[in-house]
Amino acid sequence: MFDLIGKKAVITGGGSGIGKAIAIVFASQGAEVHVLELREAAAQETLTEIKAAGGIAHVHKCNVAVQSEVKAVFNTLSKVDILVNNAGIAHVGNLEHTTEEDLDRIYQVNVKGAYNCLQAAVARMKESGEGGAILNLSSIAAQVGIPDRFAYSMSKGAMHAMTLSVAKDYLASNIRCNSISPARVHTPFVDGFISKNYPGKEKEMFEKLSKTQPIGRMARPEEVAALALFLCSDEAGFITGCDYPIDGGFIKLNN
């Protein structure tokens, strides 16, 4: 089950965290993985891990916010069977503490970046005549009010809406499109955020943030990757236009 042999998978932001975990598990299941990453050194670490385990992977230095760079990468690929739109950046601040520059920066990467990759991938999937699977990384912030995440929540709401639109428009082309909405996931970003904003209180804040999930801990990137694998595999061939919270009970059980 969940065999990806013979499939070419494009994963954005695959240099660390969730994107890295997805790249590794997809390669372990036989996919030829193409990592699009602005931080080339980080992507090389992912590549090294995949190749050490016997997988096939390639790194493409790319700023997903620049359409010409995205198109140039996709034009080098013989086909695209899977796209995972994972690349994204965060911002902390409510409406009053979100500048125009903050909003534009989040939009360029999280929204326009996803749009650029969707447009390029859909074109290649239609060309092949075989369709494909698309997975967008949204967030619980698209569905519930998260304090001080105005711009980030906006971008993830857009990701959810784009998922539904693409799923509807490309049914006849055999292109499926779904999204995943994680709650807090323990990634290097979380560790960096805590150390930057709560120096000397790292352990205390980590425990506090972990307990905001009813299950009592943050998710592991590998758990998100396992759900991504299912949704991009042929076993999920009857699933499209859906969002899957992976949130330790945050949305439904956080009373």
Contact status, residue 30 vs residue 1, Cβ threshold 8 Å: no
Q: Which amino acid is at 15?
A: G
Type of residue numbered 157? G
* DSSP assignments along 12-77, one per residue: ETTTSHHHHHHHHHHHHTT-EEEEEES-HHHHHHHHHHHHHTT-EEEEEE--TT-HHHHHHHHTT-
- Tell the residue number behind the tokens 């909003």, with chain if given: 103
Residues 168 and 96: their CA atoms lie apart, in Å, by 36
Domain residue ranges of the chain, discontinuous segments joined by +: 8-183+221-245, 186-218
pTM tops 0.85: yes
Total residue length of the chain: 255
**Distances 25 to 99, 229, 242 between C-alpha atoms, Å:** 38, 7, 22
Which are the catalytic amino acids? 152
pLDDT tens-digit profile, the chain (255 residues): 999 999 999 999 999 999 999 999 999 999 999 999 999 999 999 999 999 999 999 999 999 999 999 999 999 999 999 999 999 999 999 999 999 999 999 999 999 999 999 999 999 999 999 999 999 999 999 999 999 999 999 999 999 999 999 999 999 999 999 999 999 999 988 888 888 878 999 999 999 999 989 999 999 999 999 999 999 999 999 999 999 999 999 999 976
The C-alpha atoms of residue 181 and residue 164 are separated, in whole angstroms, by 14
Task: Give 8-183+221-245's CATH code, choosing from 3.40.190.10, 3.40.50.720, 3.40.50.10490, 1.10.10.10.
Answer: 3.40.50.720
